[in-house]
């Protein structure tokens, strides 16, 4: 370890954190990786593990979709995703909320049917 770098070892890659420049992940020489480097590494990781290849950016959408499905507030998600407007988040992920609305209606319907059948 040098004065300039911390090394973090993961099963996926070694991350170099440059303390001299505001880069979170950088090469051994302190320079940033290209955007393609991340995509290439991610693709290789998926292929090496027999997984379906998706774009690295697809993880962002998966994160947002599962966050909403797990009950994360949509306004909080907007901030987390860095969307400048709430409408951007809703335009992109409203289908998730539609699905959740259907699930909520089905759950309520089942519960009400149970109550009614016990009363009758």
DSSP-assigned beta bridge partners for residue 9: 14
Helices (H), the chain: 35-48, 58-69, 74-81, 86-119
Looking at residue 13, its pLDDT comes to: 52
What's residue 87's pLDDT? 93
Tell me what pLDDT residue 75 has. 94
Question: What is the reported pLDDT for 50?
Answer: 92
Q: Report in angstroms the alpha-carbon separations of 42 from 12, 18, 57, 120.
A: 9, 22, 10, 58
- pTM value is 0.57
Q: Is 56 exposed, middle or buried (0-12, 13-18, 19+ CB in 10 A)?
A: middle
Predicted pLDDT of residue 111:
84
The pLDDT of residue 57: 86
pLDDT of residue 79: 93
Residues in the chain: 120
Q: How far apart are CA 24 and CA 4, in angstroms?
A: 12
From first to last of its 120 residues, the chain has per-residue pLDDT tens of 333 344 444 455 555 555 666 566 777 777 788 878 889 988 999 999 999 999 988 888 888 888 888 889 999 999 999 999 999 998 888 777 777 777 778 888 888 888 888 776
């Amino acid at each position: 370890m040098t004065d300039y770098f911390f090394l973090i070892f993961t099963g996926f890659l070694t991350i170099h954190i440059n303390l001299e420049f505001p880069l979170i992940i950088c090469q051994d020489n302190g320079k940033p990786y290209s955007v393609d480097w991340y995509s290439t590494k991610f693709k290789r990781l998926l292929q090496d593990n027999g997984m379906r290849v998706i774009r690295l950016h697809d993880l962002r959408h998966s994160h947002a979709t599962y966050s909403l499905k797990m009950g994360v507030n949509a306004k909080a998600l907007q901030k987390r995703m860095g969307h400048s407007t709430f409408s951007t988040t809703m335009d992109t992920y409203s289908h998730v909320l539609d699905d959740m609305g259907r699930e909520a209606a089905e759950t309520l319907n089942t519960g009400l049917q149970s109550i009614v059948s016990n009363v009758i």
